[in-house]
Amino acid sequence: MLLPMLGVYQEYVRNHHYSLQVLAEYKMKEEFNRTLKRCEDKSQCEGRSIESFLTCPMYQIPRYLVTLHEILAHTPHEHVDRTNLEYAKRKLETLSQVIHDEVSETENIRKNLAIERMISDGCDILLDANQVFVRQGTLVQVTMSKASYPCPRIGQLGPLPCEKKERLRQVFLFTNHLLIATRTNSGRLKLAKLWITELKMHCY
């Protein structure tokens, strides 16, 4: 059995949260982003991001556990390897629970990095590990402007009528910020800079 090698997975799991934090910090550096994009654009990456590569090993143990369950289902109780298989299953179940907890803890960082990738010019706000994602959705921005006419109307009384314009906005709510963006023709998001709002808590 390769159970002694599980120590490698355990070490990787323990450092997973830290690795994502380091990635978020380095993504604030323009030179790093250029190098990262050049590497991710290579055909060998098959369109996958560095975040997906960092997370991929976390899902191997659950797959091994499923395979082990299937083997045990077809292994007679009196089989000479039954005891070792059950021992391996218990070890993998323990490690699988640790991995599950770690993935849950890093979900926020991975979510922020995924949103940051969707924004065409990036967004340093989302690279803050303490920025907690709350929810996202779509809003309609309504603007009112006075209607224009090719020539003035004689005898018109009262104010000019208003024209209503509606624009679809993508909204992302975090603990300290509200980001509002528009979707470009390429499918990516472009931040409306005037709509990057910092949320401040006031105590009374």
Q: Letter for the amino acid at 174?
A: F
d(CA 169, CA 165): 13
The CATH number that domain 122-145+161-196 falls under is 2.30.29.30
Query: Mean of the per-residue pLDDT values for the chain?
Result: 78
Question: 2-115 adopts what CATH topology?
Answer: Dbl Homology Domain; Chain A (1.20.900)
Check for a shared fold between 2-115 and 122-145+161-196.
Answer: no
- pLDDT confidence of 204, banded at 50, 70, 90? very low
Instruction: Evaluate whether 193 touches 165 at the Cβ level (below 8 Å).
Output: no
- pLDDT confidence of 197, banded at 50, 70, 90? low
Quick one: tokens of 100? Answer: 């599950």
Q: Which residue has the higher pLDDT, 39 or 200?
A: 39
Report percent pLDDT > 70 for the chain.
83
d(CA 105, CA 109): 8
Instruction: Evaluate whether 116 touches 108 at the Cβ level (below 8 Å).
Output: no
In the chain, where the domains are located: 2-115, 122-145+161-196
Quick one: tokens of 181? Answer: 């963006």
Q: Letter for the amino acid at 56?
A: C
pLDDT attached to residue 201: 42
- pLDDT tens digit string along 20-35? 888 888 888 889 989 9
- Locate the DSSP E strands across 2-97: none
d(CA 132, CA 113): 11
pTM score above 0.75: no
160, pLDDT greater than 60: no
d(CA 112, CA 26): 14
